[in-house]
Amino acid sequence: MLTLISVTITQISLGALTVAVALLIAVIKSFFVLRIFMHLKFETRMFSIGVAAVTLLICVVIIITMLDYLFR
Amino acid sequence: MSPEKTTEEPSYLDYKGKYRGIFSWIFSTDHKRIGLLYLFSILTLFIIGATLGLLMKFELIAPGGTIMDAQSYNAFFTLHGIVMIFAVVIPGLPAVFGNFLLPLMIGAKDVAFPKINLLSWYLYVIGVTLVILSQFAGDGPPDTGWTFYAPYSFRTTNTMLPAVFGAFVLGFSSILTGLNFLVTIHRMRAPGMTWLKMPLFPWSLYATGWVQLLATPIIGITLLMVVAERTLKIGFFDPTLGGDPILYQHLFWTYSHPAVYIMILPAMGAISEMISTFSHKTIFGYRFMVVSILAIAFVGYFVWGHHMFTSGMSGTALYAFSLLTFLVAIPSAIKVFNWISTMHKGSIDLQTPFYWAIAFIFVFMIGGYSGLILGSLAANVHLHNTHFVVAHFHFIVFGGTGFAFFGAAHYWFPKITGKMYDSRWANIGLILFFIGFLALYAPMFYLGFKGMPRRYFDYDEVFHAGNIISTMGSWILYSGLAVIIINLFSSLKGGKKAPSDPWGGKTLEWTVPSPPPVENFTETPVITKGPYDYK
Amino acid sequence: MSMLVEIHRDDLASKTGMWLFLFTEMLLFGGLFVVYTVYRFRNQVAFHLAAGELSVVIGTLNTVILLTSSATIAMSVTAIQKRNKKLTLLLLGITVLLGIGFLINKYFEWGGHIKENIYPGSSILALRGQGDVLFYGLYYFMTGLHALHIVIGLVFIGFIISFVARDKVNSGNFVLLENSGLYWHLVDLIWIFLFPLFYLIT
């Protein structure tokens, strides 16, 4: 469902936004997988906090690394 | 000696289970036996690493080749680094004392996943075997340094793959240990032991567990990329194919900096235990200590670039990393202040572990200050890759984790073995070791400041005097080590029988017999008071 | 005083352990996302063009396959809770078949590229320029590592199938099934991000 949307949307060349949109849809898809398939909706909140924290950690590491590459 | 209730429970050492002899050890899932298996392995690797260091120092006693050539020296410092970092200090305190003491200190029977615990040790043994075998493989031992920097790590014709895989397997062992401790602390604390009633050593193992879990995979994938570079020419770090060697350094240090917090956090936890017990006083500022432990683990994740100041990073990155490096020093300073404040107006019992603890504070602070100097961008340009750096990390890692390890070994020796060690020889060993340590590493600050590079087997004559002192220091240190280790082993046989609580400690491990029975507690303890309840 | 031997089972601990392990997997691939971000930033045009050479059809098909298999394994957990052993085994079997289907697709996809001499270390690839080398290097490495995890996941599920058949995993004790599901969902999640980053950035 969402997959078909993401494929069709990116066939329309949105230029620089294409990556952002594709990733946004990926994030939405993962939200559903996490919440429903992986049961996070029904499990202790600790797991959701953990997933969010780890995701944030990876993003921060990428951002800090890019501080090097963006400004060389 | 206090009258002991003789329990019918055999101690974990005397317990007769399914297996006999050595199999009762290498197939055991008892966290206490696994801790000792680790102790035996890590001690062996430590002696190997220390001997390598001794030989390196002997090479450096005079300029030019003394007992080896340049290529051999490269192989020596590579193996010394790999062994000491991946096989000794990273597993060190968690695998030995964490395994033995964590369940006891939180009132549990064992860790959450005892079989995975044993698997961690098997992986450790496989990893170190690969590392040792790397020395004898086809095209010569690894010569890249323990840091495996690209592009040399995929261009060198020496055999790299066994060492790289060995480090990978050791990383996996570390991840599983961290995972085990995290679940244990979350799920198996005794009734009444809320988070803020847990002693500081388990707290430090908790923070360390998160670092082991979340940082180690990065080096896992980085090492896999090096393998891909060497075998498939994939191009990630090869400038001729579009790759960036600095990216290797980013990825490598994104793990290896948090790794030093894996080394130091449990050390700090153990030191807290010792200082509280031998001051007969509760830890000053317990909550600040907990927050500091967590803060060090958290902020420590974001400072890795300070190993790369001269590599060619952007100015923005330089400023960001230097600032963050200064920030991470703050919680460590808080801890030092609180240790001193704990001792203030305490009733000090001058025992061997306490001497180790105050020696720790001394060398840790020197190491820490020198870290701030290195964290300053302008100074770093001058000091990077000199012996100043070598002095810094030996003071803070060997001085930090090493001293805490020896302190912990003496502190918990009665609990683990049921015997008291000979304190006279223990103190003699400590003094010898301490003098040797200072003589070995302090001159390196000066030598580095004057410009002597690291990882070189040769040097200019102007550095000769400092190196002579340093090498002689290594002999004194090594003999101190021998006295300490031999004393502990001989006390196993001839030591006096130890009571449950020889030091008057207040944490849970001192409420069970020395050595403990297999399932630790005959009745699950119920906690009503804080961890260091000294009044 | 004699010890009471307690057979103590803590399902929450078991599940927590699995979630912690999933975190390590997230970070393992996270390192590769760092590499991807850096090299895409430095070679935007080359990545853009090279991505156009990948088959969106196969990629989309694989995405649908994996998402469906995620659904089937999630349903198997409900099935076992409802004591429906046959349905549980059927759903697990479908999951495995879908996983194998994914791998077969991958085999043909990689085969196509390799026939054209596009693979790490090939001289043809090197001739195409650094951006292409990096794109395909990342493509093979990331999808390869992902495929390895699919294999591991299938083996894991294979074991669970045998446990369910022998009633070692049942309606009263199914945390192992849940854990295998969690692992499989993670493999799905990683692909959800790999798909746009390699196939849709045209």
pLDDT digits (tens, 9 = 90+) for B412-426: 999 999 999 999 999
Residue B433 has pLDDT above 50, yes or no: yes
Contact B222 C21 (CB under 8 A): no
Question: pLDDT confidence of B74, banded at 50, 70, 90?
Answer: very high
Note the maximum CA span of chain C. Answer: 78
Could you read off the pLDDT of B472-490 as tens digits, one per residue?
A: 999 999 999 999 999 999 9
User: CB burial class (10 A; 0-12, 13-18, 19+) of residue C47?
Assistant: buried
Average pLDDT rounded to a whole number, residues B397-417: 96
Mean residue pLDDT across chain B: 94
Determine, for residues B216 and C24 on separate chains, whether the beta-carbon distance falls below 8 Å.
yes
CA atoms within 13 A on the CB side of A50: 22
Q: How far is CA B253 from CA B55, B83, B155, B260, B309, in A?
A: 28, 18, 20, 10, 12
pLDDT at res. C1: 38
Q: Does A62 touch chain C (CB under 8 A)?
A: yes
pLDDT of res. A30: 86
- CB contact, 8 Å: A16 with chain B? no
Q: CA–CA separation, C36 vs C39, rounded Å?
A: 5
Residue C2 structure tokens: 């004699």
Q: Tell me, what's the pLDDT at B228?
A: 92
d(CA C27, nearest CA chain B) in Å: 6
pLDDT of residue B490: 96
pLDDT digits (tens, 9 = 90+) for B106-133: 999 999 999 999 999 999 999 999 999 9
What is the predicted pLDDT for the residue at B2?
A: 44
Which residue's entry shows tokens 């020419």?
B233
C-alpha–C-alpha distance, residues B358 and B352, integer Å: 10
State residue C202's pLDDT score. 64
Classify residue B172: in a domain, yes or no. Answer: yes
Residue B24 in tokens: 């009762």
Contacts of A34-43 with CB under 8 Å at 24 or more apart are A34/C185, A34/C189, A36/C74, A37/C70, A37/C71, A37/C73, A37/C74, A37/C181, A37/C185, A37/C188, A38/C181, A38/C182, A38/C185, A39/C178, A43/C15
- Output the CA torsion B62→B63→B64→B65 (10° steps): 20
Nearest to A67 among B246, B301, B316 (CB): B316
Chain A residues closer than 8 Å to C71 by CB? 37
pLDDT tier for residue B533 given thresholds of 50, 70 and 90 = confident
Interface predicted TM-score (ipTM): 0.92
**CB distance B179–C24 less than 8 Å?**
yes
Write out the two tokens for B205: 């193992």
**Where is average pLDDT lowest: B149-158, B216-225, B281-290, B345-354?**
B149-158
- C-alpha B141, offset from chain centre: 25
What distance in Å separates the CA atoms of residue B396 and residue B296, rounded to the nearest whole number? 15
Chain C residues contacting A via beta carbons under 8 Å: 12, 15-16, 19-20, 23, 26-27, 30, 33-34, 37-38, 41-42, 56, 60, 63-64, 67, 70-71, 73-74, 178, 181-182, 185, 188-189, 192-193, 195-197, 200-202
Residue range B232-255: mean pLDDT, rounded: 93
Residue whose entry in the numeric block shows the structure tokens 């597993």: B91
Please report the pLDDT score of residue A15 as a whole number: 57
Chain C nearest C-alpha distance from A16 (Å):
9
How far apart are alpha carbons B343 and B280 in whole angstroms? 9
B16 inside domain: no
Tens digits of per-residue pLDDT, B174-231? Answer: 999 999 999 999 999 999 999 999 999 999 999 999 999 999 999 999 999 999 999 9
- Burial of B196 (C-beta count, 10 Å sphere; 0-12/13-18/19+): exposed
Say if residues B179 and C17 touch (Cβ distance below 8 Å): yes
Task: Indicate the length of chain B as a whole number.
Answer: 535
Residue C104: band (very low, low, confident or very high) from pLDDT cuts 50, 70, 90: very high
DSSP classification of residue B313 = -
Residue B465 has pLDDT above 80, yes or no: yes
Of B3-17, B68-82, B289-303, B426-440, the least confident: B3-17
**pTM exceeds cut of 0.90:** yes
The stretch B513-525 carries a mean pLDDT of 91
Does B341 fall in a domain? yes
| Position A4 pLDDT exceeds 70 | no
The C-alpha angle B118, B119, B120, rounded to 5 degrees, equals 90
Residue B189 maps to a domain? yes
Per residue in C125-157, pLDDT tens? 888 888 999 999 999 999 999 999 999 999 999
The count of domains in chain B is 1
Question: For residue B268, what pLDDT is reported?
Answer: 97
Report the gap between the CA of C63 and the closest CA in chain B (Å). Answer: 24
**B228: closest CA among B214, B209, B210, B243?**
B243
Average pLDDT over residues B278-300: 96
- Orientation angle between helical segments A2-11 and C175-199, nearest 10 degrees: 10
Residue B38 belongs to a domain with what CATH number? 1.20.210.10
Q: Residue B499: what pLDDT?
A: 94
Confirm if B331 and B299 have CB atoms less than 8 A apart. Answer: yes
**Is a pLDDT exceeding 80 seen at residue B296?**
yes
CB B261 within 8 A of CB B296: yes
Beta-carbon separation of B183 and C13 below 8 A: yes
Chain A: nearest CA to C7, how far in angstroms? 24
Residue spans of the domains in chain A: they are: 1-38, 42-72
| B12 occurs within a structural domain | no
Q: Is B388 a domain residue?
A: yes
Cα–Cα distance measured from residue B259 to residue B493, given in angstroms and rounded to the nearest whole number: 36
> How many Cβ atoms are within 10 Å of C134's Cβ, its own excluded?
27
Q: What is the pLDDT of residue A2?
A: 60
Give the integer Cα–Cα distance in Å for B185 and B203: 9
- In angstroms, rounded to a whole number, what is the distance separating the alpha carbons of residues C121 and C123? 6
Work out the average pLDDT over A34-56: 85
Side chain identity at B35, as an amino acid letter? G
The whole-number pLDDT of residue B3 equals: 46
Does residue B20 lie within any of the structural domains?
no
State the residue range of the domain holding B431.
29-511
Mean pLDDT of chain A: 80
Q: Angle at which helices B286-299 and B245-279 pack, to 10 degrees?
A: 170
The pLDDT of residue A35 is above 90: no
Please check the confidence at residue B1 and state whether its pLDDT lies above 50.
Answer: no
The C-alpha atoms of residue C162 and residue C158 are separated, in whole angstroms, by 7
Q: Which domains does chain C have, with CATH numbers?
A: 28-199 (1.20.120.80)
pLDDT at residue A14 is higher than 60: no
How far the first Cα of chain A sits from its last, in Å, is: 42
**What's the average model confidence in pLDDT over B450-467?**
95
Report chain C's mean pLDDT, rounded to a whole number.
90
